[in-house]
Chains A and B, each alone.
Chain A
Amino acid sequence: NAGVTQTPKFQVLKTGQSMTLQCAQDMNHNSMYWYRQDPGMGLRLIYYSASEGTTDKGEVPNGYNVSRLNKREFSLRLESAAPSQTSVYFCASSEYPPSGYSGLTNEKLFFGSGTQLSVL
């Protein structure tokens, strides 16, 4: 199984350019997430989609937009890239939210291999 697939793996942008990071999962998961990872900062949640048709802001949403295209796909868009958005971006999915809606708990996240983005 492919699991969570992110594209591209590497990208260099100039300030002001736009781009979309793609993420797809083949595990029929309901919830999907976008995190960014910066040195010394750990992972910070940008946006998430607890279920198909819903999206919500995370800790650091400014400068980003997301689209839950369907149950499989969750894209992250940078409309006007800035050097502060240089980071490694990870997409993740889980069958259900960590302890939400369904009342189920114990949900673990499955991560993609990341996109290394540099904004010059």
Chain B
Amino acid sequence: SQQGEEDPQALSIQEGENATMNCSYKTSINNLQWYRQNSGRGLVHLILIRSNEREKHSGRLRVTLDTSKKSSSLLITASRAADTASYFCATDNLWQGGSEKLVFGKGTKLTVNP
């Protein structure tokens, strides 16, 4: 079964606004990653946050992680039309000391209107 669930499923904003996407997961994790997928392309890694981190920044991206609530958020500030894409969270499910694979959520489709 899928681990991460993004919310909302779709988001439409104007250029310059901030976009916030949320991800909830079910089991303990080592880290959580966010990926972007442009239409018709493969996924591209954006940012990784470890389970002992609460916040991480990368350029216009800000990711938070709340392990007590098993949730993460991705904030894109000052959005641009080029940010139009689907965004996925991915987690490694901890079991017996390790995990060999990433499990992806269903994604949030972000549309940034010029």
Residues of A at the B interface (CB closer than 8 Å) are 4, 31, 33, 35, 40-45, 48, 50, 56, 58-59, 90, 92, 97-101, 105-106, 108-114
Contacts and interface: CB of A to CB of B under 8 A. Distances in A.
Closest 6 A/B residue pairs (Cβ): A111-B42, A42-B106, A98-B92, A108-B45, A99-B30, A43-B104
**Which of B33, B40, B100 counts the most chain A CB atoms within 10 A?**
B100
Contacts, number: 81
Nearest to A110: B45
B43 interface: yes
B50 A105 contact: yes
B114 to A, nearest CB: 26
A43 B88 contact: yes
Contact of B30 (A31, A44, A105, A114): A105
A100 B99 contact: yes
Given A98-B92, A106-B31, A112-B42, A45 B103 contact: yes
Contacts of A100: 98-100
Interface string B23-43: 000000011010100001111
Contact of A42 (B2, B42, B94): B2
A108 to B, nearest CB: 4
Interface in B56-114: 88, 90, 92, 94, 98-107
Main DSSP-derived SS at the B contact region: strand
A101 B40 CA distance: 33
B13 interface: no
A114 B42 contact: yes
Contacts of B94: 99
Contacts of A31: 100
Contacts of A101: 98, 100
B43 A43 contact: yes
A48 to B, nearest CB: 5
Given A42-B107, A98-B31, A106 B99 contact: no
